C-alpha cells in the first residue's frame, strides 16, 4: 500500500531512534480503526500534537513516582480482596486478576466503589479494553480498505460493525456516565477523592480555561487511565502464576525471603520492598520472560532520518521489537529460562543488568505514564500471593500434574493461552491470615 515500515530489532537502535531522537519519532500512526472503535479519546493513540501534550500533562501529574505512592493503600486493599477470592475460587484466577485491578483503578480514577465482578463499571471498562484487539494487524479488512466502514452491519461479512459499535458505546459510557457519577458524588459526598474529581475541581477554579476542551481532557484522561497499566498488569500476573507453577525452586526462594523479612503474622507491604531483592528480581523477570507487548506500540517518523547508513523517510512507521530486546542472549543469557537470579549480584539487585522496564513500558515520549503505578501493583500482588499461597501445576481428573507449555495468544497484547494452575494456602496459618485481612478490608 506504499507505507514505509521499519522494524527496530535491538536495544541500541531503539535507544538511538526512539529515545535520543524522540523529537522526530514520537508521532503515532493514525488508523481508521481508532475512531471506529471509539478510541479517539485514548490519548496514548493520539498523534504528537499540542492536544496530545495537554492530555499528557494532565495525566502525568497523577502518576509521577511520588503521586503514585498515594495509591498504595488502595492497591494493598484490592490485593487483600484478591487473596480472598483466590482462596474461595482459585479456578477463576484470570477473572480475579481483572476484578482486583479494575476495582482499584475505578476507586483511584473515579472515586467509585465496585460491588462485585458483575458490576457495570467493570463490564464497561473491560469492554472498552477489548477494543485493543482490533489493532492486531490484518484482523479487520477495514484497516486496509477504509471504504468498508460504510458497509451496513446487516451485509454478510460486515459483522465487524457490531464489534465496533459495542466498543464505541463502552468508551462513551466510561467517558460520560462514569465521569458524571463522579460529579454527582462530589455534590452529595458519596465519592472519595479521585483523579477525575481533582481535574473537575481545577476546572471550576480556573475561569480562564476553555471549559468544553478541559472537560474533554478530563474524560479522555479517565478513559486512558485504565488502559495505562491494565494490559501490563493483567498479562504479567498471568505469566507470573504460570512461571511459579513450572519453577518450584524460584517459588521456594521467594517464599524463604518473604518468611525471613516479613514473618508469618502479617502480609508484605510496599515498605518492605527495599528488603526483598529476590522479589524485586522476580518482578523484573516476569516482565522480561514473556513481554506483554512483543512489538510495543508503533511510533511514526515526522522527519527524514539518516541512521547507520539507512535512510528512513518521514511518515515511516517504526515498530520496536521489544521481544528481541528482552530475549537478547548477550543481555540476558539463557533468555528462555525463567531465572530471577540474573538480576542479582551479592544478594542485591544488580544495577549493571538492563532493567526490563526500560522496554516493557514503551519508549521515549511515548513511554507509558502509568508505569510506576503498574510496577507497584505487580510488586504487591506478587509478594502477597507468594507469602500465603503455593502455586503448582494443574491436575488432571486422576490427580496427576498436567504438563505446562508457555504459549502466548496471538494478539496485540500477549497473554498466556493457558495459565491454569493449582493454588492452595501454604498453611492453615496462611489461610487465617488471608481471612483476617479480608475481614478488615470488608469492614
Annotated binding residues for heme: 368
Contact by Cβ (8 Å): 439, 83: no
CA dihedral 412, 417, 422, 424 (to 10 degrees): 10
Strand, helix or coil at 323?
Answer: helix
The three three-digit cell numbers of residue 379, written as one number: 510488586
Number of CB atoms found within 10 A of residue 318's CB: 24
Distance CA 20, CA 110 (A): 36
Burial 328-363 (b: 16+ CB within 10 A, else e): eeebbeebeebbbebbbeeeebeeeebebbbbbbbb
Q: How far is CA 361 from CA 320, 337, 371, in A?
A: 12, 22, 6
Alpha helices in 247-370 (DSSP H): 248-262, 277-289, 322-326, 357-360
Amino acid at each position: 500500500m506504499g507505507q514505509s515500515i521499519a522494524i527496530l530489532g535491538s536495544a541500541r537502535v531503539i535507544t538511538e531512534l526512539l529515545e535520543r531522537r524522540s523529537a522526530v519519532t514520537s508521532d503515532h500512526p493514525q488508523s481508521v480503526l481508532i475512531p471506529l472503535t471509539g478510541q479517539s479519546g485514548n490519548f496514548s493513540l493520539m498523534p504528537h500534537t499540542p492536544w496530545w501534550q495537554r492530555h499528557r500533562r494532565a495525566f502525568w501529574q497523577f502518576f509521577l513516582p511520588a503521586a503514585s505512592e498515594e495509591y498504595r493503600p488502595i492497591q494493598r486493599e484490592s490485593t487483600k480482596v484478591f487473596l480472598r477470592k483466590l482462596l474461595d475460587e482459585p479456578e477463576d484466577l484470570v477473572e480475579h486478576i481483572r476484578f482486583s485491578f479494575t476495582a482499584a483503578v475505578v476507586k483511584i480514577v473515579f472515586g467509585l466503589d465496585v460491588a462485585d465482578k458483575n458490576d457495570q463499571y467493570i463490564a464497561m471498562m473491560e469492554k472498552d479494553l477489548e477494543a485493543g484487539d482490533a489493532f492486531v494487524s490484518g484482523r479487520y479488512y477495514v484497516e486496509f480498505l477504509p471504504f468498508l466502514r460504510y458497509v451496513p452491519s446487516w451485509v454478510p461479512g460486515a459483522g465487524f460493525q457490531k464489534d465496533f459499535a459495542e466498543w464505541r458505546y463502552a468508551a462513551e459510557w466510561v467517558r460520560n456516565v462514569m465521569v458524571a457519577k463522579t460529579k454527582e458524588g462530589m455534590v452529595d459526598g458519596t465519592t472519595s477523592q479521585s483523579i477525575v474529581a481533582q481535574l473537575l475541581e481545577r476546572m471550576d477554579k480556573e475561569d480562564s480555561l476553555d471549559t468544553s476542551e478541559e472537560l474533554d481532557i478530563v474524560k479522555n484522561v479517565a478513559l486512558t487511565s485504565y488502559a495505562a497499566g491494565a494490559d501490563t498488569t493483567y498479562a504479567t500476573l498471568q505469566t507470573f502464576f504460570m512461571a511459579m507453577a513450572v519453577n518450584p525452586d524460584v517459588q521456594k526462594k521467594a517464599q524463604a525471603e518473604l518468611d525471613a523479612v516479613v514473618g508469618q503474622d502479617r502480609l508484605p507491604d510496599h515498605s518492605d520492598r527495599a528488603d526483598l531483592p529476590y522479589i524485586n528480581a522476580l518482578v523484573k523477570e516476569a516482565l522480561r520472560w514473556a513481554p506483554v507487548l512483543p512489538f510495543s506500540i508503533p511510533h511514526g517518523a515526522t522527519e527524514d532520518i539518516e541512521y547507520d547508513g539507512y535512510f528512513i523517510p518521514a511518515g515511516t512507521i517504526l515498530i520496536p521489537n521489544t521481544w528481541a530486546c528482552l530475549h537478547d542472549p548477550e543481555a540476558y543469557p539463557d533468555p528462555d529460562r525463567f531465572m530471577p537470579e540474573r538480576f542479582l549480584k551479592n544478594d542485591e539487585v544488580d544495577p549493571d543488568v538492563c532493567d526490563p522496564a526500560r522496554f516493557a513500558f514503551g519508549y521515549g515520549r511515548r513511554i507509558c505514564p502509568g508505569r510506576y503505578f503498574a510496577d507497584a501493583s505487580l510488586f504487591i500482588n506478587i509478594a502477597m500471593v507468594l507469602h500465603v499461597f503455593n502455586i503448582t501445576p494443574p491436575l488432571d481428573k486422576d490427580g496427576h500434574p498436567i504438563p505446562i507449555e508457555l504459549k502466548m495468544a496471538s494478539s496485540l497484547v500477549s497473554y498466556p493461552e493457558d495459565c491454569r494452575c493449582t493454588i492452595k494456602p501454604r498453611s492453615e496459618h496462611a489461610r487465617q491470615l488471608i481471612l483476617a485481612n479480608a475481614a478488615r478490608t470488608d469492614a
